[in-house]
Amino acid sequence: MDIFLKYGAVGVMDSGIGGLTVLNKLLKSFPKLNFIYYGDNQNAPYGNKSIRELKRLALVGIDALVGNGAKIIVVACNTLSTTILDYIKAVSPVPVIPTLPNNKIDKNEFKSPTLIATPNTILSKYVIENFNNFNLVPLPFLAGEIERFIFSPNKISLEKDLNALPTDVDYLYLGCTHYIFLKERINAFLPRAIIADNLSDVALSLFNTLDKTSIKKVIGKRKVLFIGGSHNYNYTVFKKVLWSKGDGKTDLQSLK
């Protein structure tokens, strides 16, 4: 019997490689669950697309994941989660976990908390309503550069983007899953700032939702399947950049 039919799988989706940072966290947090990764790299980045287009593309991703056996979908994309989450929940036949920037900070501790994200995320109702105590900085090009140049990082003009931040930033929230690939480089540029992301929040939400699904713990090796038009690219980026040592308990496969 197919391993996904027997145990179910967690679906993870993003515009491209950004959600691989979420997948990496979830694989480590849930070592006995199967996963399916869908990246829409041909249409990335999502950060400047219209809401109508985002809805159309999200639907394709949901169908692909559910069609391959996903019993829950982690939307590993802040852009989709902050703009069209209600739509995704309405059209998805399985439960949905979003990836949302988290505004919880100690207001007395930080003078200049700052959120960086795609233009769509920064302009979303979610961010406007929840981040009024943050500096909001849209980065129109960074996710696209990370998407294309992950194997030649010198071509990513991160420092130019960070130079545009307020000079007193002491807390920087990475509101795009692509940026997490550059967390160490960001930290090196802003050594005195706390650099935060939502990976642990997403893992916790998944943990709290699993009992509403039919997903079971795998006996033996679990499987991670990469699907979507650029499955080989996502598989390669994941293996080379995030999963080089593996865990000995996971069978990574790119769709044939």
- Quick one: 180 or 215, whose CB is closer to ligand DGL? 180
Please give the Cα distance from 237 to 252 (Å, whole number): 12
Considering 176, 193, 199, 224, which one is annotated as catalytic?
176
Closest distance between ligand DGL and the C-beta of residue 77, in Å?
Answer: 4
Rounded to a whole number of angstroms, the minimum distance from the CB of residue 80 to ligand DGL is: 7
Residue (178 or 223) nearer to ligand DGL, CB: 178
What percent helix, strand, coil does the chain show, rounded to 5?
45, 20, 35
Q: Known catalytic residue: 230?
A: no
Region class of 77: left (phi > 0), else alpha (psi between -120 and 50), else beta: beta
Provide, rounded to whole angstroms, the least separation between the CB of residue 107 and ligand DGL: 25
> Are 189 and 31 spatial neighbours (Cβ–Cβ below 8 Å)?
no
Of the candidates 146, 197, 158, 140, the one whose C-alpha atom is nearest the C-alpha of residue 41 is 146
Of 80 and 165, the one with the shorter C-beta distance to ligand DGL is 80
Chain positions contacting ligand DGL, by CB under 6 A: 14-15, 18, 44-47, 77-79, 118, 121, 143, 176-178
Angle at 80 between CA 105 and CA 162, to 5 degrees: 55
Q: CA 208, 248, 65, 122: dihedral to nearest 10 degrees?
A: 60
- Active-site choice (9, 72, 77, 162): 77
Question: Residue 234 Cβ, how far from ligand DGL at the closest point, in Å?
Answer: 12
| CB nearer ligand DGL, residue 81 or residue 254 | 81
Kindly list the distances between the CA atom of residue 46 and the CA atoms of 148, 149, 185, in Å, as whole numbers in the listed order.
14, 17, 23
Please identify, using beta-carbon distances, which residue of 34 and 83 lies nearer to ligand DGL. Answer: 83
Pairing assessment for the beta strands 70-75 and 9-14 based on DSSP bridges: parallel
What's the closest the beta carbon of residue 57 comes to ligand DGL, in angstroms?
Answer: 10
**Chain CA centroid to CA 163, Å:** 24
C-alpha count within 13 angstroms, C-beta hemisphere, residue 109: 6
Question: Quick check: is 75 catalytic?
Answer: no
Alpha-carbon gap, residue 98 to 91, rounded angstroms = 14
Active site positions, annotated: 77, 176
